[in-house]
């Protein structure tokens, strides 16, 4: 068995680790052959030093340099596509087609290219100039950024290739990537491509580093270290909250994407009008990728009545007859079983599924649970446990008033969805509940399922706690996601030649958007007379 | 003695308090006659309920309604100007002219009017529309906001009239103001004007509420309460950190402005060229308002040499001979004495001052301390104690290398200033140290003192921890300060008539700036074909 190296300070180095781990093929439940190091604190410490040195070198560099690196990296990933797809399939069990090859890898490359374009353009940093007072401000890089990737997107959220990585780098920051233990080989190939691109484009050693795994207590030290600028974390709630507490204590920005059950409301008119469509769309969304999406619909709310009973029967029929997907690994399988058990203990009735197995390797039967609005109101916390995977809870409320009460008890979520009739029959109900749901979620949808997160400037993949750590930021959508990794830097009476290019009178590219004397413009600054 | 009422749920009500406090005239050290309640938790709880109800009423209201309230409030303050100036002078000892009458009150009214204008315009919320995907996003109000005001700006940072209040209201949020105990009568008059304006403009009860004081543990409950959206706090570091911990734990945004010693660097060429000017500007800034500004220059860095010794002698001469101002109260006086003592224990030498007294009422001699760069590097934490008031520490470094090391040990600050020669003689030194200082401060200045905070869009009155809780936000400068009190609200496939006005195809005012398909525009949206 080979022991894999870590990427530190511009080199692949043998780790000083004394502990190692292997990933597993979730379809065969067999360990994969390579050993990956659990880096000791000394190694994290050295990575921080190297990142600090790299930051001192690159701060002040114009955005087009980071753009050049990101473009070269996107190209390098394209040449490694078959390796990446092969390894990710081995390590995660996610299907090669359409998921890995046709959806996730193209999206990942597209994200890196969008980030490159935003870095080169510079508008993301919202340069703001007031000519009368001669005060100017722009977002500058916050400093070395730690990125913790999750298990469920081996490409698009990978610690060294995904959205947080792209955003942090495009904002001008070195990244220390902490890979997810479930797909280290996939991550290694990204690391190789990243290092190749970094060398080709003249980035300093330590600009991009990769550690596969660190101890929990070292994670807390990392996110609160004075050399670190910020952290992006996507993953489970309990670990995320521990890291948040450590970072908060010393005032380090930490951006978390934790958990979400993504409530979906089927209003009565919609149930009456298009029951079959609702069942089909819900079952498709809930079972896609075996439900292992941050935006998977884990909670469905419906008003009691015979049409709702028919819809539920149709949902159960579809979910039950659908093939059972492979789960990402042992951890997901264990967590899903225990979460469903918790929901049942809290009073939910199991309409179908509820048992381990049914598919290849790690799997759990497609599961639909049911509870009443009354039950939900009696145990709102217990019935909001996230069952990450192919399971969902249907809550049948007595009437619209009870629906409003249930919504008001929701925790923060990434998304909330309302299906309503195409005519006016649900209008009053919509107006009653939408404002309540609006305040609980980052993205409000109408008439379509929340899975599928477009990488566009208006996207909000965020939401109130505990979906994330702050309701003002998004993890997806360029350029907004980049602003998380900036600090506001104001220049007061600073001599013109000392200003960053983005704040000089002349628009550096002729295309950068800047807020000059309260007006957005791509023009040059005409100094106040 | 009269017991003052609290402003709750649209009415001035007798408080249920059993504990009371009085403010004091710092010039006479005599208690002022009115008794103010220390509100029990029940009252805070009722205020939260009322704010929650008010929020349910106003969410979705267009910005011009909040603008109308803010305009009416600014007018009402103008009619109460003489009361406000009289009371603030009594309670804080700050001079009527020019400070209270000619500077702070006009600034406060101007801030409210700027906020009104920004609320009416709507561009602050950065509406973002992508026509191809039909996804749209905008900052919406985060919810009821608690504002804790500081002691040193009875008007411009007042909990019910200052910058945080204006920003939170302009973003559409009800405010629960927690006044500062040192100037309750001033705050009461603002509360009366606010309530009058709220009634005149049809704001719901509970939109603006005022509690004069609450217990510390109730502050923690308030900032972490599920009904609260966010908190703005300006004040001492220890209390601020306790509130931050409580809010962080439940993921509630809290924006803190805590402490700052505002390093000023006099580079050798500047010392050689314009020593008298530097001494004059520094002494003026350091003693202005008895040094009780967040941006007061509390740390000056100079390179050793005979010209520096001459400058220090000139500084001491000027500071010593300047009149000693009255401090805001007993607390400030006690804190200043103990902070200077801590600096002396850490090794600083007292060049002048260092004793209680010298002015009317609460006062402390104008104080200049001195330490070497070596001493600073040996005790960087102890020599960064904030001596809030008319005291400053001069640190004389051996050379530019040591200067760089000292700067690298600085905590986060609101401002950092570099004075350099008008010719090129300091250019190399500037290029060496500016990047280090840049990363430590929110606002970098050249050739002028940091006191004086312009209310312009490019202002950053913020900075890395512990100056504030997050390096991305500013407490001053509209519209940026408003964005702290927004949550990102995305609309995905939402039917056109259900969108907020700011995201509809038609630009609601024809003047609102929106990011449509990546371009800032004031035009209407032309839907994708």
Across the interface, which of A253, A446, A456 has its CB nearest the CB of B495? A446
Across the interface, which of B137, B465, B519 has its CB nearest the CB of A458? B137
A120-172, pLDDT tens digit by residue? 999 999 999 999 999 999 999 999 999 999 999 999 999 999 999 999 999 99
Numbered ranges of CATH 3.40.605.10 in chain B? 38-256+475-482
Q: Is the pLDDT confidence value at A425 over 80? A: yes
Q: Residues B51, B72: contact at Cβ < 8 Å?
A: no
Total length of chain A: 529
Do residue A492 and residue B438 have CB atoms under 8 angstroms apart?
A: no
Do residue A520 and residue B498 have CB atoms under 8 angstroms apart?
A: no
Question: 10 Å Cβ neighbour count for B355?
Answer: 11
Strands B208-211 and B128-130: unpaired
Residue B497 contacts A, CB cutoff 8 Å: no
pTM, two decimals, is 0.97
% residues pLDDT > 90 (chain B): 99
Do residue A472 and residue B487 have CB atoms under 8 angstroms apart?
A: yes
Q: Which residues contact A447 (CB under 8 A, 6 or more apart)?
A: A270, A418, A419, A420, B493, B495
Q: Which residues of B touch A438 (CB under 8 A)?
A: 59, 140, 489
A476 to chain B, minimum CA–CA distance in Å? 12
Q: Is the pLDDT confidence value at B2 over 90? A: no
| Cα distance between residue B264 and residue B394, in whole Å | 9
In chain A, positions 187-216, which contact chain B (CB-CB < 8 Å)?
none
In chain B, positions 125-164, which contact chain A (CB-CB < 8 Å)?
128-130, 132-133, 135-137, 139-140, 142-143
A470-493, pLDDT tens digit by residue? 999 999 999 999 999 999 999 999
Q: Please determine, for the modelled complex, whether the ipTM score is greater than 0.95.
A: yes
In chain A, positions 227-266, which contact chain B (CB-CB < 8 Å)?
244-245, 248-253
Q: Is the pLDDT confidence value at A529 over 90? A: no
Q: What are phi and psi of A294, to 5 degrees?
A: -60, -30
B261-270, pLDDT tens digit by residue? 999 999 999 9
B421-463, pLDDT tens digit by residue? 999 999 999 999 999 999 999 999 999 999 989 999 999 999 9
Q: Which CATH architecture has domain A263-446?
A: 3-Layer(aba) Sandwich (3.40)
Do residue B471 and residue A142 have CB atoms under 8 angstroms apart?
A: yes
Interface test with B, best of A487, A491, A497, A502 (most B CBs within 10 A): A487
How high is the pLDDT of residue A195?
Answer: 98
> What CATH number belongs to B38-256+475-482?
3.40.605.10
B154-177 burial: b if 16+ Cβ within 10 Å, else e: bbbbbbbbbbbbbbbbbbbbbbbb
Q: Which residues of B touch A442 (CB under 8 A)?
A: 487-490
Numbered ranges of CATH 3.40.605.10 in chain A? 50-120+138-258+468-492
| Cα distance between residue B260 and residue B283, in whole Å | 18
Q: What are phi and psi of B146, to 5 degrees?
A: -95, 130
Nearest alpha-carbon partner for B351 in B397, B379, B391: B391
Q: Residues B136, B142: contact at Cβ < 8 Å?
A: no
Q: Which residues of A touch B410 (CB under 8 A)?
A: none
How high is the pLDDT of residue B311?
Answer: 98
% residues pLDDT > 70 (chain A): 99
Query: Average per-residue pLDDT in chain A?
Result: 97
| Token output for B10 | 């649209």
How high is the pLDDT of residue A30?
Answer: 97
% residues pLDDT > 90 (chain A): 99
Angle, vertex CA A398, rays to CA A395 and CA A404, nearest 5: 75
Tell me whether residue A350 is one of the annotated catalytic residues.
Answer: no
State the pLDDT confidence band at A1, using cuts at 50, 70 and 90: confident
- Return the H-helix or E-strand segment holding A498: none
Do residue A135 and residue B464 have CB atoms under 8 angstroms apart?
A: no
Q: For the residues B93-111, what does the mean pLDDT come to?
A: 97
Do residue A490 and residue B142 have CB atoms under 8 angstroms apart?
A: no
Q: Is the pLDDT confidence value at A527 over 90? A: no
Q: For the residues B86-91, what does the mean pLDDT come to?
A: 98
Across the interface, which of A459, A471, A492 has its CB nearest the CB of B444? A492
3-state SS, residue B343: helix
| Token output for B184 | 């309750």
Count of A-B CB contacts under 8 Å: 199
| Cα distance between residue A354 and residue A373, in whole Å | 21
| Cα distance between residue A323 and residue A281, in whole Å | 16
A493: region left, alpha or beta (phi > 0 left; psi from -120 to 50 alpha): left
Q: For the residues B115-125, what does the mean pLDDT come to?
A: 98
Longest dimension (CA), chain B: 76
Query: Average per-residue pLDDT in chain B?
Result: 97
**Per CATH, is A50-120+138-258+468-492 categorized as 1.10.287.130?**
no
Q: For the residues B486-493, what does the mean pLDDT come to?
A: 98
A186-210, pLDDT tens digit by residue? 999 999 999 999 999 999 999 999 9
DSSP assignment of B437-468 equals HHTTEEEEEESS-S-----STT-----STTSB
Q: Residues A417, A446: contact at Cβ < 8 Å?
A: yes
Q: For the residues A11-36, what does the mean pLDDT come to?
A: 97
State the pLDDT confidence band at A2, using cuts at 50, 70 and 90: confident
B253 to chain A: nearest residue by CA?
A470
State the pLDDT confidence band at B529, using cuts at 50, 70 and 90: low
A447 to chain B, minimum CA–CA distance in Å? 7
Q: For the residues B350-370, what does the mean pLDDT come to?
A: 97
A132 to chain B: nearest residue by CA?
B456
Do residue A472 and residue B412 have CB atoms under 8 angstroms apart?
A: no
Do residue B446 and residue A495 have CB atoms under 8 angstroms apart?
A: yes
Numbered ranges of CATH 3.40.309.10 in chain B? 263-446
Q: Is the pLDDT confidence value at A89 over 80? A: yes
A443-461, pLDDT tens digit by residue? 999 999 999 899 999 999 9
Residue A276 contacts B, CB cutoff 8 Å: no
Across the interface, which of B459, B473, B492 has its CB nearest the CB of A135? B459
| Cα distance between residue A401 and residue B327, in whole Å | 56
């Amino acid at each position: 068995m080979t022991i894999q190296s870590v990427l530190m300070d511009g080199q692949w180095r043998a780790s000083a680790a004394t502990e190692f781990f292997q990933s597993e093929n979730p379809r065969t439940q067999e360990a994969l052959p390579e050993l990956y190091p659990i880096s000791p604190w000394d190694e994290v410490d050295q990575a921080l030093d190297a990142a600090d040195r790299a930051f001192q070198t690159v701060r002040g560099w114009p955005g087009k340099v980071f753009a050049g690196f990101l473009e070269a990296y996107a190209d390098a990933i394209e040449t490694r596509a078959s390796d990446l797809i092969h390894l990710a399939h081995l390590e995660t069990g996610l299907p090669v087609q359409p998921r890995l090859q046709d959806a996730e890898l193209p999206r990942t490359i597209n994200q890196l290219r969008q980030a490159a374009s935003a870095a080169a353009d510079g508008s993301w940093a919202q340069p703001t100039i007031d000519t009368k007072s001669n005060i100017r401000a722009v977002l500058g890089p916050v400093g070395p950024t730690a990125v913790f990737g999750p298990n469920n997107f081996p490409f698009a959220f990978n610690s060294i290739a995904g959205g947080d990585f792209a955003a942090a780098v495009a904002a001008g920051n070195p990244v220390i990537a902490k890979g997810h233990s479930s797909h280290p080989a996939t991550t290694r190939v990204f690391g190789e491509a990243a290092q190749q691109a970094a060398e080709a484009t003249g980035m300093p050693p330590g600009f991009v580093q990769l550690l596969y795994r660190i101890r929990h207590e070292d994670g807390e030290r990392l996110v609160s270290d004075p050399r670190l600028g910020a952290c992006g974390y996507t993953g489970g709630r309990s670990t995320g909250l521990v890291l948040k507490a450590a970072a908060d204590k010393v005032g380090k920005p930490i951006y978390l994407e934790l958990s979400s059950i993504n409530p979906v409301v089927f209003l009565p008119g919609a149930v009456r009008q298009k029951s079959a469509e609702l069942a089909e769309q819900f079952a498709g969304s809930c079972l896609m990728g075996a439900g292992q999406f941050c935006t998977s619909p884990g909670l469905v709310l419906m008003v009691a009545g015979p049409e709702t009973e028919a819809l539920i029967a149709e949902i159960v029929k579809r979910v039950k007859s659908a093939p059972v997907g492979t789960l990402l690994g042992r951890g997901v399988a264990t967590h899903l079983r225990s979460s469903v058990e918790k929901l049942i203990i809290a009073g939910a009735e199991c309409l179908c599924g509820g048992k381990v197995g049914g598919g290849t390797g790690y799997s759990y039967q497609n599961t639909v649970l049911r509870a009443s609005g009354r039950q939900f109101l009696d145990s709102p916390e217990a019935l909001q446990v996230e069952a990450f995977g192919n399971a969902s809870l249907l809550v049948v409320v007595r009437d619209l008033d009870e629906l409003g009460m249930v919504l008001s008890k929701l925790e923060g979520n990434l998304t909330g969805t309302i299906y309503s009739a195409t005519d006016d029959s649900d209008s009053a109900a919509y107006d009653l509940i939408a404002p309540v749901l609006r305040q609980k979620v980052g993205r409000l949808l109408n008439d379509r399922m929340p899975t599928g997160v477009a990488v566009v400037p208006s996207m909000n993949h965020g939401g109130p706690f505990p979906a994330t750590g702050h309701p003002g930021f998004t993890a997806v959508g360029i350029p907004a996601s980049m602003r998380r990794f900036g600090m506001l830097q104001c220049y007061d009476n600073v001599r013109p030649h000392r200003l960053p290019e983005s704040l000089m009178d002349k628009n550096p590219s002729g295309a950068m958007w800047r807020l000059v004397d309260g007006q957005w413009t791509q023009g040059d600054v005409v100094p106040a007379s």
